[in-house]
């Protein structure tokens, strides 16, 4: 291709798209995958875009879905527009049919905020790794997830399915392989993917999945009805589809924002303390047949898949919500007791403040426990599954932000320099950590293997990303959590020796193949009595923590 001319692709139906070059990468922005879901199409399932003749411009982003702004100075200026069902593509300079791996990004934002056009999600770095990168948008808030009378539920999930169907139909025009699609998302985006993995309609649309801090709590129809009525009450309208359609969009966005930002307001309207946000996917029995974990187990049993999964979480997730607003000091013992009671958990022991205790407990409840459960379920049904833990502590907010929710994003995308990257990680974030995470994600999309041992019930390895060190730990070496206590998951915290092959497998994952002995027998000779040998005990090897093996 001639870099002096804008890149063009021709789709299977004959229509064309014209993008732009950016440092050797082809970029196509604002590509419609469904018709604008407003007017007669509002609150309905997505409708595909008809074929067209000629070449359409794809050099600029489309609007994000309607949402309340993050900037408190812009309270009367809601963001977004009606024509938001679009996707963006970053691709290497490759011909159609090049069979390149494809990565499809689903943004987070609590199902009421976010978009694919944020510079944090720029996919150029993935394209330079030989990946065709796609970012998608979907309906948010009331339009995407409110439980409305006589309307299909989970419209935002249906949008995501429509985008993935579009990828299957057309991504080969950019050199992408529709048989090598990896979906990945963070927070609500990862939760949405957990829902999709349990839906028969998603069969064949993707082949690998990366779930970052998956929030998989859904709502029952009854809970969704309470949420819908709460939104209508705060907005000052009747709880009907007709009233929602006629209401000014600003009023609906204000109502959702108010409920999302004030747990006491949610409680006053009868909403559960277990729901961080007022709108979530709904277990309606049709589109989403059961809670995600049960739906995945049912789906993977009914239709076995060759699906590989990488899943993980951050060490201090809830600090994103409580530290910047100084809420840690304002949370009370009543707030903690309400959550513990509704979640069915034991009251945490220790001398922490109510805010610190609630922050730690919710981090595990909403994010790390779902990640662990997904890994265990995938290991039982699918085969090779990989886990990670992001524990690098951001210096932001006076060093208190830590390994909070979302801090891993600029590292995964290798976009530390962006405004959100600096907001999350500061101006001096470790570039080597970004390189390691970014390359691991790209390698997983290419090969189904991020570069460390798989997580299994016998050897539950977890790769820790914490900055200068490289750790590979077994879950058996970690303390039993309150949630694991409730589930009666009894794990030993004692160190013991593993087999030589297991030692070597762990070291390869940490240090790389070239830096590990090729002949395990050379190590076997010294495995019986480390104290008399000129070798370092396994428990003291840098960056490796090893736990007791499961026997039997």
Q: Which of 317, 364, 376, 505 is catalytic?
A: 317
Q: How far is CA 306 from each of CA 24, 208, 309, 384, 452, rounded to the nearest angstrom?
A: 34, 8, 10, 10, 19
* Cα(450)–Cα(439) distance, integer angstroms: 8
Whether 408 is a known active-site residue: answer: no
- Of 226, 69, 80, 214, which Cα lies nearest the Cα of 143? 80
Q: At what angle do helices 369-381 and 188-197 cross, to 10 degrees?
A: 30
| Burial of 469 per CB tally in 10 Å (0-12, 13-18, 19+) | exposed
The tokens for 273 are 């303390």
Among 257, 405, 438, 455, the active-site one is 405
- State the greatest distance between any 2 C-alpha atoms of the chain, in Å, as a whole number: 81
User: Is residue 174 within 8 Å of residue 102, measured between CB atoms?
Assistant: no
Token representation of residue 282: 């709904």
Q: What's the length of the chain?
A: 552
59 in active site: no
Buried/exposed 317-353: b ≥16 CB within 10 Å, e otherwise: bbbbbbbeeebbeebeeebbebbbeebebeebeeeee
10 Å CB burial of residue 112 (0-12, 13-18, 19+) is buried
Q: Is 481 a catalytic residue?
A: no
User: What is the per-residue burial (b if ≥16 Cβ within 10 Å, else e) of 50-82?
Assistant: eeeeeeeebeebbbbbbbbbeeeeeeeebbbeb
Are 133 and 105 contacting, i.e. CB atoms less than 8 angstroms apart?
yes
DSSP for 303-349?
S----EEEEEEETTTTHHHHTTTTGGGT--HHHHHHHHHHHT-PPPP
Q: Of these residues, 135, 172, 187, 394, which one is catalytic?
A: 187
- SS3 (DSSP) at 230: helix
In the chain, the N- to C-terminal Cα span, in Å, equals: 59
Separation of alpha carbons 350 and 360, rounded Å: 12
Tell me which residues are annotated as active site: 187, 317, 405
């Amino acid at each position: 291709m001639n870099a002096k001319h804008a890149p063009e692709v021709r789709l299977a139906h004959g229509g064309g798209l014209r993008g732009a070059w950016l440092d050797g990468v082809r970029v196509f922005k604002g590509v419609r995958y469904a018709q604008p879901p407003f007017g007669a199409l509002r609150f309905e399932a997505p409708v595909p875009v008809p074929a067209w003749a000629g070449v359409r411009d794809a050099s600029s982003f489309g609007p994000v879905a309607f949402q309340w702004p993050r900037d408190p100075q812009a309270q009367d200026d809601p963001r977004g527009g009606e024509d938001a069902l679009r996707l963006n593509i970053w691709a290497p300079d490759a011909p159609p049919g090049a069979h390149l791996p494809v990565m499809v990004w689903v943004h987070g934002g609590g199902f009421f905020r976010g978009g694919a056009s944020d510079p944090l999600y720029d996919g150029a770095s993935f394209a330079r790794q030989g990946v065709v990168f796609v970012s998608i948008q979907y309906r948010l808030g009331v339009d995407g997830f409110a439980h409305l009378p006589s309307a299909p539920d989970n419209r935002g999930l249906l949008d995501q399915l429509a985008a993935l169907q579009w990828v299957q139909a057309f991504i080969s025009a950019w050199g992408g392989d529709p048989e090598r699609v990896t979906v990945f998302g963070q927070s609500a985006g990862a939760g949405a993917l957990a829902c999709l993995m349990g839906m028969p309609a998603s069969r064949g649309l993707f082949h690998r999945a990366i779930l970052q801090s998956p929030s998989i709590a859904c709502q029952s129809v009854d809970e969704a009805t309470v949420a819908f009525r709460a939104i209508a009450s705060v907005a000052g309208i009747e709880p009907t589809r007709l009233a929602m359609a006629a209401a000014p969009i600003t009023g609906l966005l204000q109502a959702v924002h108010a409920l999302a930002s004030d747990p006491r307001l949610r409680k006053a309207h009868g909403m559960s303390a277990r729901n961080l946000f007022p709108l979530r996917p709904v277990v309606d029995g049709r589109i989403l047949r059961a809670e995600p974990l049960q739906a995945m187990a049912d789906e993977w049993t009914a239709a076995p898949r060759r699906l590989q999964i990488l899943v993980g979480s951050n060490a201090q997730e809830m600090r994103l919500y409580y530290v910047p607003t100084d809420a840690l000091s304002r949370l009370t013992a009543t707030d903690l007791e309400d959550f513990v009671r509704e979640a069915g958990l034991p009251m945490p022991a220790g001398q922490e403040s109510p805010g610190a205790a609630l922050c730690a407990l919710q981090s595990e409840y909403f994010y790390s426990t779902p990640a662990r459960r997904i890994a265990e379920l995938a290991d039982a049904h699918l085969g090779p599954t990989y886990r990670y833990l992001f524990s690098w502590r951001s210096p932001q907010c006076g060093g208190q932000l830590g390994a909070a929710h979302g801090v891993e994003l600029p590292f995964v995308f290798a976009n530390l320099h962006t405004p959100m990257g600096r907001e999350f990680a500061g101006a001096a974030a470790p570039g080597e950590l970004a390189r390691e995470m970014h390359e691991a994600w790209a390698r997983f999309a290419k090969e189904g293997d991020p570069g460390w041992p798989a997580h299994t019930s016998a050897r539950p390895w977890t790769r820790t990303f914490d900055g200068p060190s490289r750790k590979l730990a077994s879950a058996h070496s970690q303390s039993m959590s309150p949630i694991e206590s409730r589930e009666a998951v009894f794990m030993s915290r004692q160190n013991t020796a593993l087999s030589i092959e297991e030692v070597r497998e762990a070291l390869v994952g940490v240090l790389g193949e070239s830096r590990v002995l090729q002949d395990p027998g050379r190590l076997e000779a010294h495995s019986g009595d480390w104290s008399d040998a000129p070798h370092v005990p396994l428990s003291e090897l840098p960056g490796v923590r090893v736990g007791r093996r499961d026997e039997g």
